[in-house]
Amino acid sequence: MKKLYKSLLVLVSLVVAVSCTSELDNDPIGLLTLDQVDTDPTLETMESAVESAYHPLRNTLNSIIPGWRWDLGTVFRNDIILQDMAANDMAKKWNPDGDQAWMDEIGNFDFTPENQAFNGIWTYNFEGVSRSNLAIGFLTDPDIMEKTGISQTRRDQLLSEAYFLRAFYYFDLVNNFGDVPLILKSPDSFEEAFSVSVRAAQDEVMEQIGADLEAAASLAPQVKNDGTDPWRVSLGAIISLQAKVALYNENWTLVLERIAELDNLGFYDLNANYFDAFDVTKEFNDQEVIFAYDHRSGENPANGNGLAAVSGWGFFAPTEDFLSAFEADDPRLAYTINVNDQRSPKILGSITDFKGNDDSPGNKIYMRYGDVLLWKAEALNESGNPTEAVSVLNQIRERARNTPTADGIPVPEGTLVPRPISNDQSQVRTWIQMERRVELGFESQRFNDLKRWGIASSVLQGLGKNYQAHNDLYPIPQADIDKSGGSITQNPGY
């Protein structure tokens, strides 16, 4: 049993070679301390190991690497830069300046592998993989299970969460970088650590993602959420990620099967009000959110939504192209971005509060049922059922037009009229793509959508961006290639 804890020290070496987190000053297992490496585990350390695996999903400032490391791209989780800015939905600031010019490079596609945006997301995701692996190692060791006295029910739930989280981090890595190192356990030696400092084929990583999600689903409780900690990974989150993986693989039949499985649970629906999914006063009491990171105020160490502070510094402005994507009087626009007040209610979790507050409680939503319905519409259309796809699409539009404006006023008659039933698959595809942009604006989905639809080049070049075909994958952070001694190779074009 002692070997497992000692291997944690070797894991730090692997982080140096693979995940570019040699700069970490905090313990790589988060809530655990290095003192616990030399002690037998307890039930509390099992719980802590799993909870710490969630932390790379958060936007708390300096939570993974302390010390305001803008140079490493790790001040907050930077999906918002690599998705919303890259897709030209978002500009860096309301008033353009030279601050953090690396963000502008992402939006203009004039970056190099040294750009810290890539290091940031690589660091967060591989830190998540490392923490998930540690938890899985604990929870699959029968000696440890006997020592801690953990119940089979609790062990299964925690292990289900850890498998999901590892799959989630790897899915993001694959979408950003393609082939990536595939690390499935804490290494027992330096030789083993360096042996995994190579890129595995994307198909191999995707196969592992599928296996992890299958394992997670088999162990998950058959309930909507944990009654004590509703933020935890649920069966609904697992099935939803399975559907999303199938969507990205263009397996339309499987997408529809997974969504039917999700619907059969009876746990989720569209909220009556569009903003309820983001409203901090309704967290975990709405019907739509499937998986979110639970930011909380007043905790030590801090666990608030640091993007609220960054918003107060003038970051995260909409582009004119994004604003023009909304139809007249669409209430979703003001809930996504209030131009007059220069604030994003979606990011902040409030129409009026939290701007400038680095300890605000607004959650980061990763999956919600509105997104799922748009997956369903897309899968129906691409599998030859455009008329059914339009019916699903119109559910999204109906909810939007029935949502009062941010001022509490009903939207005018004639707003967001239903799309007409159509057999034109190309037209319906265009409608779905338009709806995804406005429904999911500022939710870090857009760039992946453009890539998987095969229209990133035409859209972004049409906006004057220096986008090239090889930009479908971001470059591997140069620092990690250097640290690996060249065993980690670079993506083509960089």
What would the pLDDT profile of 297-345 be if each residue is shown by its tens digit? 999 999 999 999 999 999 999 999 999 999 999 999 999 999 999 999 9
| Interatomic CA distance for residues 193 and 184, integer angstroms | 11
Residues in the chain: 494
pLDDT, one tens digit per residue, over 188-200 is 776 777 777 899 9
Pick the closest to residue 131 from 15, 284, 259, 258 (CA basis).
15
Of residues 33, 23, 114, the one with CA closest to residue 74:
23
Q: Is 37 a member of any domain?
A: no
pLDDT at 16: 34
Identify the weakest region by mean pLDDT among 29-38, 150-159, 195-204, 205-214. 29-38
Look at residue 270 and tell me if it is in a domain.
yes
**Per-residue pLDDT tens digits for 119-137:** 999 999 999 999 999 999 9
Do 285 and 328 contact (CB within 8 A), yes or no? no
pLDDT tier at 20 (50, 70, 90 boundaries)?
A: very low
Write out the two tokens for 278.
């983001």
pLDDT computed for residue 190 by the predictor: 67
pLDDT at position 173 over 80: yes
How confident is the model over 44-88, as pLDDT tens digits? 999 999 999 999 999 999 999 999 999 999 999 999 999 999 999
Structure confidence at residue 41 (pLDDT): 83
Residues in CB range of 170: below 8 A, 6 or more apart: 125, 129, 180, 182, 205, 208, 209, 212
Q: Confidence class of residue 13 from pLDDT cuts 50, 70 and 90?
A: very low
User: Nearest to residue 494, comparing CAs of 464, 474, 467, 480?
Assistant: 474
Does a structural domain hold residue 255?
yes
Residue-level pLDDT at 189: 72
Q: How many separate domains does the chain show?
A: 1
Q: Is the pLDDT of residue 438 over 60?
A: yes
Q: Residue 27: left (phi > 0), alpha (psi -120 to 50), or beta?
A: beta
Residue corresponding to tokens 């592992």 = 208
Distance (Å, whole) CA 253 – CA 493: 34
- Domain contains 343: yes
Over 90: is that where the pLDDT of 34 sits? Answer: no
Interval 422-435 mean pLDDT: 98
Q: Give the pLDDT score at 37.
A: 38
Coil, strand, or helix at residue 305?
strand
pLDDT at res. 39:
57
* Nearest-angstrom CA–CA distance, 38 and 8: 10
Compute CA distances 251 → 176, 211, 246, whole Å.
20, 17, 5
What are the beta bridge partners of residue 293?
Answer: 364
Lowest-pLDDT choice from 27-41, 245-259, 354-368, 436-450: 27-41
* Residue 397 C-beta-side C-alpha neighbours within 13 Å: 22
DSSP state of 301: S
Name residue 390's amino acid.
Answer: V
DSSP class of 81: I
Note whether residue 458 is domain-resident. Answer: no
The answer as to whether 56 is a domain residue is no
| Contact indicator for 309, 418 with CB cutoff of 8 Å | no
345: domain CATH number is: 1.25.40.390
> Above 60 in pLDDT, residue 389?
yes
The pLDDT tens digits of the residues spanning 256-267 come to 999 999 999 999
| Cα 312–chain centre separation | 23
Boundaries of domain holding 396: 221-453
Give the tokens for residue 57.
């999903």
> d(Cα 441, Cα 445) in Å, to the nearest integer?
8
**Does 4 reside within a domain?**
no
Q: Is residue 124 part of a domain?
A: no
